[in-house]
Structure 1
Amino acid sequence: MNLDTVIFDMDGLLIDSEPLWQEAADEVFKLYGVNLTHEQYITTTGLRTKEFVHWWFTHFQLGEEELVRAEKKIIQVVIDKIQRKGAVMPGVQYILDFFEKKKFKIGIASSSPQQLIDVVIGMLGIQPYLKATASAEFLSYGKPHPQVYLNCAELLQSHPTQCICFEDSFNGMIAAKAARMKCVIVPHHSQQKDERWGAADLKLTSLQNFAIF
């Protein structure tokens, strides 16, 4: 099938929010006496907040009593941080205009809660481009499971093999490929040489550099 649909991840791809997620996680985890290293943090990039919290609460043997409270607190803190200092990633306007001119259906599939997706869309002013958004917040499984991408494709009335996805994380890349979609990876500059990106169909240093079609 010919490609006619593009689905974007959000955090770290459209908005420079990954450092803000890490700041929020650091602030909340310190309340429990935990300090994550950057290396530890990036191993769980792309997971939903509840999975991220559960992973590290289990790792540090913090118990389950505070899981939900910690998850909600991180989300509250990161929304506030994004509203105050979230910055658009390079090439976002370019890539949206590129696919709109090609008459592609455009969607967002994110691990973040719908509340945060709506905040970012409003901040970036990109609502007119979008035909659908999908959040993994309440799914049985988040990325690297493909369901959020499959859900977005369904909302866009597209077959998975008609879709090209843009991601910045390993978990997101695996989710897109598991959904049988093409995947363009735009990793953080510090991870550009990571051999794991070999599973992607294309690797870029910026959205601004995409010019396949």
Structure 2
Amino acid sequence: MEMLKNIDAVIFDLDGTLVDSMWMWKTIDIEYLARFGLEFPEDLQADIEGMSFTETAIFFKNRFKLPDPVDKIKRDWNEMAWDKYLNEVPLKEGVREFLDYLKEKQIPAGIATSNSKELVDLIINKHNISEYFKSIRTSCEVEKGKPSPDIYLLVAKDLKVEPLRCLVFEDIIQGIMAGKNANMKVCAVYDEFSKDDEKEKIKLADYYIRSMRELLQ
């Protein structure tokens, strides 16, 4: 596989890359703001893209002048997302097959996500994919969320691999930039949620795929 030439490890984003879940976060934001009688602003997703779970909660608290503490905001989001992840969010096509391929070739894999630790654990266990990953990290464990390279550099360190020899899979612009800022090769992944950013994603990344199934042909 051409893409894996000179690559010693593969690092995946989670939402929109491994699982088809980006759609539900907008739904949660709309429902959550409605609790406070607030409208969902159309520019919101662009403002929070790439932020860690904690950074996003702080942003919400400040922008919408929410009375709840940051920890409660995060707890409420976890509760709202829990059921959806459990019942409505599938793995994206070709994901399991590609993970099997990496395992077979003994190429270590990691996850670098902006999601919360609780939800990441839920997703990994529900789809029974923890065995594929030697490192699973969230942006709350580093100083800054994406587009900063921090999270990708941390996972590379866990995997004991030079950043230059890592291949990243990402579905959003801020994530692609985080991978590039970490000096890694990046493959952009199609996701319905970010289809308007298609041209920009292709321009920023080294590779582009519509589905992980393409990797195995």
Instruction: Name the TM-score, length of structure 1 as normaliser.
Output: 0.88
**1:151 and 2:154 correspond:** yes
Q: Over residues 130-173 of structure 1, what are the superposed CA-to-partner deviations in whole Å (9 max), with x where a residue is unaligned?
A: 11111112322111111111111111111111100100111111
Q: What is the CA-CA distance between 1:67 and the residue it aligns to?
A: 5.0
Identity of aligned residues (%): 28
Distance 2:182 2:10 in 1: 13
8 Å contact 1:49–1:75 — kept in the other structure? no
* Equivalence for 1:198: 203
* Equivalence for 1:116: 119
* Equivalence for 1:19: 23
**1:134 and 2:137 correspond:** yes
Q: Secondary structure, in 3 states, of the residue corresponding to 1:203?
A: strand
Q: What is the CA-CA distance between 1:102 and the residue it aligns to?
A: 2.4
Among residues 46, 51, 54, which one is paired with 2:50 in the alignment? 46
Distance 2:104 2:149 in 1: 28
Distance 2:141 2:69 in 1: 16
Distance 1:103 1:109 in 2: 19
Distance 1:192 1:140 in 2: 27
Distance 2:178 2:67 in 1: 30
Q: What is the CA-CA distance between 1:211 and the residue it aligns to?
A: 5.1
Q: Which moved more, 1:152-161 or 1:39-48?
A: 39-48
8 Å contact 1:4–1:103 — kept in the other structure? no
Q: Secondary structure, in 3 states, of the residue corresponding to 1:122?
A: helix
Q: What is the CA-CA distance between 1:107 and the residue it aligns to?
A: 0.8
8 Å contact 2:190–2:198 — kept in the other structure? no
Q: Over residues 173-206 of structure 1, what are the superposed CA-to-partner deviations in whole Å (9 max), with x where a residue is unaligned?
A: 1111111111001132433633243110011111
Correspondences of 1:38-117 after superposition (within 5 Å): 40-59=44-63, 62-63=64-65, 65-68=67-70, 69-117=72-120
* Equivalence for 2:8: 4
Q: Which moved more, 1:39-48 or 1:11-20?
A: 39-48
* Equivalence for 1:171: 174
AA partner of residue 9 (structure 2): T
| Bigger share in helix | 2
Q: What is the CA-CA distance between 1:114 and the residue it aligns to?
A: 1.7
Q: Which moved more, 1:29-38 or 1:3-12?
A: 29-38
8 Å contact 1:141–1:147 — kept in the other structure? yes
Distance 1:64 1:192 in 2: 30
8 Å contact 1:153–1:160 — kept in the other structure? yes
Q: Over residues 39-71 of structure 1, what are the superposed CA-to-partner deviations in whole Å (9 max), with x where a residue is unaligned?
A: 642553332233234435544xx3264351223
Q: Secondary structure, in 3 states, of the residue corresponding to 2:48?
A: coil
AA partner of residue 48 (structure 1): S
How many residues are matched? 210
Distance 2:184 2:156 in 1: 10
Q: Which runs of 5+ in 1 are unaligned?
A: none
Q: What is the CA-CA distance between 1:75 and the residue it aligns to?
A: 2.2
